[in-house]
Amino acid sequence: MSESNIPASDGKDLPETVGRDFQPKAAMVDITTMLKDAASALTFESPMIHTDSFNLQDSMAALEIMDQKMDCCEVPASAMLIEPTEQQNDKDERMIFPRPAPTGLDDVIDALPWDELTIEDAAFIALENVIRLESLLSGSSVVESTYTCLYSHKVVLEDMHKRLDPCMSLTEQMKAIMQTPTQKGTIAQRSVFASTLLLVELTDLIRGVILNADIYEEEDFGTSTFNIASFRRPSEGFTLKIVLDEISSIEEESTKLDQYDNQDAFEAIRLTLSFQKDLMVAVSSLARLSGKTIRKEVEAAQQSIKSAKKKLQDTVPIFARLKEKQSDSVKVILRRTFDPFVNRPLVGNSPVRTIVFRDAIDATNEMIRMVDEVDWCVCKVILKANSLGRIRRMMRPVSSESANILTRSLLVLNLYFDELIFGQYSLPEMIVRYMRQLSHVPDSIVNLPTTDAFLNRLCKPVYDTLKLMALNRNRQRSYLDIMLGDWSALREEAYIADMTNHQDSGSHSELQPHFSLYVISTTIELMDNYVDLGVELELLCNEHELTIAYWYRDFLLSSLLTQLNTMRRYKLDAKKQVHQDAEQFPATVSGGKPQKGGKKKGKNKVSVANGASNRTNRDDLSITPTVEDIEEEVEYLFLNAKRFLCRGIVRFFVSLNQAGLIKENSFDFTSNEMIYQKRFEPFIGIHQPPYLTYDDYLKGSDFTKLTQNNLVSASSDSFSVAKSLIDQALKHMSKLDPDFLPIQVEEVKQLSKVCVANSVYLQRLKQLTVGGKTNAKLTLDMATHRHFCTIKLG
Amino acid sequence: MVEEGSTLPLPSSLATQYVQELLGEKIVCTLDDGRTVKGTFICIDRLSNIILTNNVVEERTIHTADYSQYKKSSLSPSYIDRQLSMKRHLGQAMIPGSRLVKVELEETTHEQILKSLARESS
């Protein structure tokens, strides 16, 4: 009989039992033989005896007890060893129930380390808490991260608080009134308490932020707490007070130390506690911005974040030194304190997740990266992005870098509050300024009541385009699907607004459809983003699908550039007009705003929703380009470069097809046309730009009339033009603030590499076709740039 | 034919009928590691795999020694291994026939089933 078959005691001599059934037992009859006889009588034709309602779903939903993969409460006994053996995956290995959750410091299963804690132990426990925090932020639920630390359980924290609170008893409270209360417990104990308290406080704070923002997806964050109780802080600011007291206590103690005497351990604890405290202060401040002091609060939060990052960076070499000298007793302490299986009975079985924590260095570096994100993704954006164009440019990296869910949640929480963008700017006014930046929207149009109404109508869709960039990258496509419908419907309203404005303004010049242009260009950008994401997420991945994707993107980018060119032309014409007027009538121009059509409106000021614009139209029409003009110009150049890159890649694929290097797809249950229709289904309802059918694609990509050489040359030219546009943009970029760049320098280099590499492989294709070889190995490389492939020929 | 008040074992031919009558009743299964699983019986197959449903309760004994192996490794003779009972609630569970040792039923329910079989056979 194995050890595991020791029969349970009858409970009479056990002082503590958990979950014991004390109901008087009914008399039971052994029916084992009956069941086994009935089972053995079953045949293949009639393999089961079951109730009428029993079905396949019931059988699949049933948990197979004792199955090592399916049953979460089967833990290898060797996992409880200090140094787990290699037998962990052995099928015959003894399995035990996960360690029950602790009931206090003096837990009956295994008392938690307390009296024997040393300062070195406390330092490593603090480090492990940071690893748990990183795991929480990376997507693990609280029971898979925070509460794998046995100290963080509510009853244990309450026990620690009771033992360490200098004012727990009445006598102590009386003494505290008379004099400063003396600290109870050792520094190691207080440090462990402070560090664990911070872990729990940060967990609750982070959960609150993420749930409030409500943009998380399943893979971002585990929201369920599985009913695990969290320690209740006795008062507001309790955690901060405990931590600040402990940090000053450690600082005081470390001044008394000899240089060889545990200085690293003290410093490690001080830095870790300070890091957690700074992070907590910054996040709680950013989650509650309001009122007129927003900029000051964000600046203060930014300082806290930078301080937190610095402190965490400083811990890395210190912990490296401590690890080299780490004693075995520390390993034992950590094993007793952290148990990844303790909450298994809570989490259920579908599926049983293996909890894996990063090692200390990786976790710390990852934590540093996440903390840094809060600075550039949240604080900088709130402080610096003062126009719609700049907000879009600063938020794009948040999307493309797949920032952490906490960062994105903080950004969304602060995106629009107190009826203002970032609590600072009126959104309708921002939209008008942005439209004026791109095009020339005269005051006579901006002042009209229909403009107010339409701008208010535009607010929610524009807000959605910003919020989109904070969503999980993998899920943006499904939101784009919905947004495209909204923007498509806006086009008609924009047209009506333009017509009405044109009539109301009494202008005799041709209709300049400013709102329509803006709505259409935004719609096309969303469509392009949709196709782009399909490539990035590998929904469009083989040669045929990528050809279609780039072909469609070529069309979309060309349409977008057409709209932008029209808007730029209006602006240029207006600039010329203003400067002609300035030359002809210098006195008039230096005064008030020109009134087109000669009518004075009742409302002379811009009555755009929440406020009046202080900038006149004239400011946007100065002959010297402003910084924002250069930013828009750079963005324009990159759009053009991407268009040529798409064009070049399409021609490259067509050349390969002509050379017989791409195999045709064949399907039994579908067809290329059906796949195409499915991929671009959201575009069907959009009238402008018109939806392109599969036949349009076949016609558009039919280059049979061109020779292989001509096709290769055309492709090569496209890559050359793209490269030269990129180089041109790079020259402008050096004059700009890096935070306002439409594309990061690293990405610019990647795009250049793609252009050059594709040009090189085009030459290789030329050599192959001249040599008559048709069996070259073709590889599509998305590693250089995630949106544009390098077509490699081996 | 089943007589009223008969005790086990019943003839094999009646086993299938007995098990069919047993469907929907609460039974207690004991597995080879000593744990018990209580629930409503809804299915059995050729390999004696049993499916229980309706607030299934698994109860097993744990040993504190399993969670404090560092103490055992210090060979402390004064260490006391305590046994505790742990309960787990499941929605639906499958008991593997290969690990099944015993199945029990409340005597009153057993007698009701026998009466029912007796009525049918007469």
pLDDT digits (tens, 9 = 90+) for A764-773: 998 888 777 6
**Domain membership flag for residue B15:** no
**Domain span at B81:** 25-70+77-105
Residue A114 pLDDT grade (very low, low, confident, very high; cuts 50, 70, 90)? very high
Q: What is the pLDDT of residue A771?
A: 73
Angle between helices B107-121 and B12-22 (to 10 degrees): 120
Asked if A10 has any chain B CB less than 8 Å from its own CB, the reply is no
Task: Return phi, psi of residue A376, to 5°.
Answer: -80, -25
Q: Is residue B81 part of a domain?
A: yes
The number of folded domains in chain B is: 1
Q: Does B1 touch chain A (CB under 8 A)?
A: no
- Per-residue tokens: A88: 């962990």
Task: Give the model confidence (pLDDT) of A440-466 as tens digits.
Answer: 888 888 888 888 889 999 999 999 999
How confident is residue A590, by pLDDT bands cut at 50, 70 and 90? very low
Give A725's pLDDT tier (boundaries 50, 70, 90): very high
Judged by a CB distance cut-off of 8 A, whether residue A17 touches chain B is yes
Cβ(A270)–Cβ(A245) under 8 Å? no
Query: What average pLDDT does the segment A396-402 reach?
Result: 87
CA of B115, closest CA in chain A: separation in Å? 15
C-alpha A603 chain-centroid distance: 44
Give the C-alpha separation, B117 to A276, whole Å.
70
The pLDDT of residue A6 is: 29
Q: Chain A contacts of B64, Cβ < 8 Å?
A: 108-110
From A252-266, A310-324, B24-38, B62-76, the region with the lowest mean pLDDT: B62-76
Question: What is this model's ipTM?
Answer: 0.88
- Answer whether A32 sits within 8 Å of B101, measured CB to CB: yes
Per DSSP, the residues of B7-43 read -SPPPHHHHHHHHHHHTTSEEEEEETTS-EEEEEEEE
Unique residue bearing structure tokens 């409880």:
A80
**pLDDT, mean of residues B11-15:** 76
pLDDT digit string (tens) for B18-70?
Answer: 999 999 999 999 999 999 999 999 999 999 999 999 989 999 998 888 887 66
pLDDT band at A408 (very low <50, low <70, confident <90, very high): very high
Per-residue model confidence (pLDDT) at position A604? 36
Of A319, A334, A329, A314, residue with least CA distance to A264: A319
Give the tokens for residue A114. 């307390």
Tell me the per-residue pLDDT of A508-541, one tens digit each, with 9 for 90 and over.
777 788 999 999 999 999 999 999 999 999 998 8
Q: Report the range of poorest mean pLDDT among A39-43, A442-446, B111-115.
A: A442-446
pLDDT above 50 (res B2):
no
Q: Which of A390, A428, A389 is nearest to A606 (CA)?
A: A428
Confidence check: pLDDT of A313 > 70: yes
Residue B93, by phi and psi: left (phi above 0), alpha (psi -120 to 50) or beta?
beta
SS (H, E, C) A213-264: HCCCCCCCCCCCCCCCCCCCCCCCCHHHHHHHHHHHHHHHHHHCCCCCCCHH
Nearest to B34 among A8, A39, A77 (CB): A8
Flag whether B110 is in a domain: no
What per-residue confidence (pLDDT) applies to A568?
92
Residue from A188, A202, A98 nearest A150 by CA: A98
pLDDT at A21 over 50: no
Does the structure show a pLDDT above 80 at A192?
Answer: yes
Does residue B54 sit within a domain? Answer: yes
CB B66 to CB A96 under 8 A? Answer: yes
Kindly tell me the burial class for residue A259, based on how many C-beta atoms sit within 10 Å of its own C-beta (0-12, 13-18, 19 or more): exposed
- What pLDDT score does A607 carry? 34
Question: How confident is the model at residue A72, as a pLDDT?
Answer: 86
The DSSP H or E segment spanning B52 is strand B50-63
Across the interface, of A14, A19, A31, the residue whose CB is closest to B86 is A19
CB-CB contact of A773 with A659 (8 Å):
no
Q: Which of A29, A100, A332 sits opposite B110 (nearest CB)?
A: A29
Task: Quickly count: other Cβ atoms within 10 Å of residue A359's Cβ.
Answer: 8
* Chain B neighbors of A108, CB-CB under 8 A: 64, 82, 84
CA–CA gap between residue A578 and residue A584 (Å, rounded): 10
Q: Is the model's pLDDT at A759 over the cut of 80?
A: yes
With 70 as the cut, is the pLDDT of residue A665 above it?
yes
**Per the CB < 8 Å rule, is A39 touching B45?**
yes
pLDDT value at residue A616: 46
Assign 3-class secondary structure to A565-634.
HHHHHHHHHHHHHHHHHHHHCHHHHCCCCCCHHHCCCCCCCCCECCECCCCCHHHHHCCCCCHHHHHHHH
Q: Looking at the predicted structure, is the pLDDT value of residue B79 above 80?
A: no
Residue B56 within a domain: yes
* Mean of pLDDT over chain A: 86
For chain B, the straight-line distance linking the first and the last C-alpha, in angstroms and rounded, comes to: 7
Does residue B51 belong to any structural domain of this protein? yes
Which residues between 95 and 114 in chain B have a beta carbon less than 8 angstroms from any beta carbon of chain A? Answer: 95-97, 99-108, 110
Average pLDDT value for residue range A171-200: 81
Record the tokens describing residue A354, joined without a space: 């293996």
What pLDDT is recorded for position A171? Answer: 67
User: What is the rounded CA–CA span in Å between residue A746 and residue A509?
Assistant: 46
CATH classification of the domain holding B86: 2.30.30.100
| Residue A619 predicted with pLDDT over 60 | no
What is the residue-wise DSSP string for A186-198? Answer: -HHHHHHHHHHHH
Give the pLDDT confidence score for residue A254 in this predicted structure. Answer: 82
Within a domain: B20: no
Q: Any residues with CB less than 8 A from the CB of B86 and at least 6 apart, and which?
A: A18, A19, A97, A100, B59, B60, B61, B62
B2 belongs to a structural domain: no
